Amino acid sequence: MLTHLSIRNYLLVESVELDFAPGLTVLTGETGAGKSILIDALALALGDRAEGGVVRPGAPRAEIAAEFVIDKLPALAAWLDEAGFTADDGTLILRRVIDAGGRSRAFVNGSPAPLAQLKDAAEFLLDIHGQHAHHALLRPQAQREVLDAYAGAQSQAIAVSAGWHAWQAARQRRLDAEGHSQARQIEREGLTLAVEELRALGDDLARWEEIQTEHARLAHVTTLLEGSQALILGLDEDESAVSGQLGEMSARLAAMQAVDDSLGEVAALLDAASADVAEAVHALRRYAGHLSLDPERLAELDRLLADMHRLARKHRVQPDALGGLLALFEARLAELAASDDLDALQANEAAAWARYQTDAKKLGAQRRKAATALSKQVTTAMHELALAGGHLDIVLQPTHEPRAYGLEDVGFLVASHPGLPPGPLGKVASGGELSRISLAIQTALSGMAGVPTLIFDEVDVGIGGSVAEAVGRRLAKLGETRQVLVITHLPQVAARGTQHLQVSKQANGGFVSSNIERLDADARVEEIARMLGGMKITATTRQHAAEMLAG
């Protein structure tokens, strides 16, 4: 249940703090005073999209906070726990902050939250019925959605829609296989040839760098052998080889060391140089021993590199990408093979069709059962709303072909007076009648919903007199089991409220602002009298207002 609403710097409202009670709360005020501001602000706190310019001029930001008691909503408590929000005291606060630039932030019990989570929480908390809801009822889709909501079959309707789309996709795959087999055959033949060419390279596909290195070595083996031999001669085997010269130098240094021991470090360095030269000569001889002329292997590598370059040019990739290309081609061939398996495609289509039929028939049974109950309930409500003898028939007609919404079309047919044949809502009901029928349907739906708070935004437009009294009685009765908030221009409805809020417009310092206040008993008499008598309020009007409130 909604217990408190705080509005700061929103549109014409500078600051308002409102407490709400159980039962029927009515909200009234002169035309243009901003009665719908409260509903719009509440909708923002519940996750509606914020339009530009909602911040009061001159203010840096607008802030709306709605507080609810949720101790009797275990499903919401479980959702909050799963989403990571705490509500240990049985209270939920949804808050929305919107800055002057249009950016907004949302909070659930003080913790930042995305708007989607505010909307999810709102599903447990309240329903808002707008003043133009009756216009939506003229659309077949809206009528179908009303029936599904009354039947509690929204999830089944979603399953039917998903099943229909799955069946259509399976059907399209089968049709594609039948209608484009020649194009796929050409593609398959080309891919098969490409795969065979790439597979012919074997493991070499993944050895591009290694093959290049081996080819470079074999192509220059003569140069490498000649260079190795020249180095060996120069270092060790030639008459003037480095190793011989180092030996002579070592002998001379030894003679000098005999005279001066301080040359010991130089002698050690020269000995190390001689050892390094000997090790280098040994490594070069080992390297040269492994070098050999292999013209056959070189020719083989030439052919292999030529094939790899040719295929790379053909498929417009680098040679080192040929291995990955082979994997892609093989995967596509597998897809084509699967798509050409008509038996499997037909089996998949048949299975999808069977699932759709099962779900659609279940949905149809739910709709037929609910149609009878909803027709009866709305017809009873119509009689209470001065449409005596009228009735609503909900007709389910088989569709010409399976649809995403099921196997039947839903139509609301109404007879507004006795003896008249039922016809489509938009052609039979007048504006006022349609508004009353809409109210009957909305209250029927609200009776099925599990939300504790119901809000009606001027759904009583276009009615008056005894009909207005009937509407007031029906809303008051609904307020016995739910918290109901109604924006109304009818004194007959306003007089039924257990709590009365008034919206007024004030000018202060060049700014116009809306103010919302709770009326006491005397103020309620004055407001009802205003609604009855317009600009001039007489003692008779006040007496009439007091009688309405007393009744």
Residue 351 DSSP symbol: H
Residues contacting 133, CB < 8 A, separation 6+ = 438, 442, 459
Give the C-alpha separation, 126 to 357, whole Å.
34
Give the C-alpha separation, 525 to 491, whole Å.
10
User: H/E element holding 540?
Assistant: helix 539-550
The three state secondary structure string of 153-213 is CHHHHHHHHHHHHHHHHHHHHHHHHHHCHHHHHHHHHHHHHHHHHHHCCHHHHHCHHHHHH
pLDDT in tens, 405-446: 999 999 999 887 787 788 888 787 776 677 778 778 877 877
For range 34-52, the mean pLDDT: 84
Can you state the percent helix, strand and coil of the chain, rounding each to 5? 60, 20, 20
By the 8 A CB rule, do 270 and 247 touch?
no
Q: Which residues pair with 504 in a beta bridge?
A: 515
Residues contacting 111, CB < 8 A, separation 6+ = 84, 85
Q: What is the CA radius of gyration of the chain?
A: 44
Return the pLDDT at 59. 87
Give the class (CATH, top level) of 1-130+452-470+484-518: alpha beta
Domain boundaries along the sequence of the chain: 1-130+452-470+484-518, 185-338, 520-551
CA separation, residue 155 to residues 136, 145, 164, 448 (Å): 21, 12, 14, 15
Buried b (16+ CB within 10 A) or exposed e, 491-500: bbbbbbbebb
pLDDT in tens, 435-485: 778 778 877 877 665 678 888 877 666 677 778 888 888 888 888 888 999
Give the C-alpha separation, 278 to 249, whole Å.
15
Which range among 44-53, 146-155, 395-404, 448-457 shows the weakest confidence by mean pLDDT? 448-457
Q: Name the amino acid, one letter, at 359.
A: D
Q: What percent of the chain has pLDDT over 70?
A: 92
Buried b (16+ CB within 10 A) or exposed e, 212-246: eeebeebeeeeeeeeebeebbeebbeeeebbbeeb
pLDDT in tens, 217-232: 777 776 777 787 788 8
Return the pLDDT at 247. 86
For range 331-356, the mean pLDDT: 85
3-class DSSP assignment, residue 425? helix
Give the C-alpha separation, 72 to 76, whole Å.
9
Does residue 108 surpass a pLDDT of 80? Answer: yes
By the 8 A CB rule, do 44 and 119 touch?
no
Which range among 96-100, 135-139, 264-268, 398-402 shows the weakest confidence by mean pLDDT? 135-139
pLDDT in tens, 196-213: 888 888 777 778 888 888
Sign of the alpha-carbon dihedral angle for 446, 449, 450, 455? negative
Say what the pTM is.
0.59
> Do strands 13-19 and 2-10 pair parallel, antiparallel, or not at all (unpaired)?
antiparallel
List, as one string, the DSSP characters of 211-255: HHHHHHHHHTHHHHHHHHHHHHIIIIISTT-HHHHHHHHHHHHHH
Which range among 234-238, 390-394, 546-550 shows the weakest confidence by mean pLDDT? 234-238
Instruction: Output 458 or 403, whichever has higher pLDDT.
Output: 403
**Cβ atoms within 10 A of the Cβ of 199, count?**
12
Return the pLDDT at 489. 87
Give the C-alpha separation, 466 to 41, whole Å.
33
**Residue 132 binned pLDDT confidence (cut-offs 50, 70, 90):** low
Return the pLDDT at 179. 66
What integer best gives the mean pLDDT of the chain?
A: 85
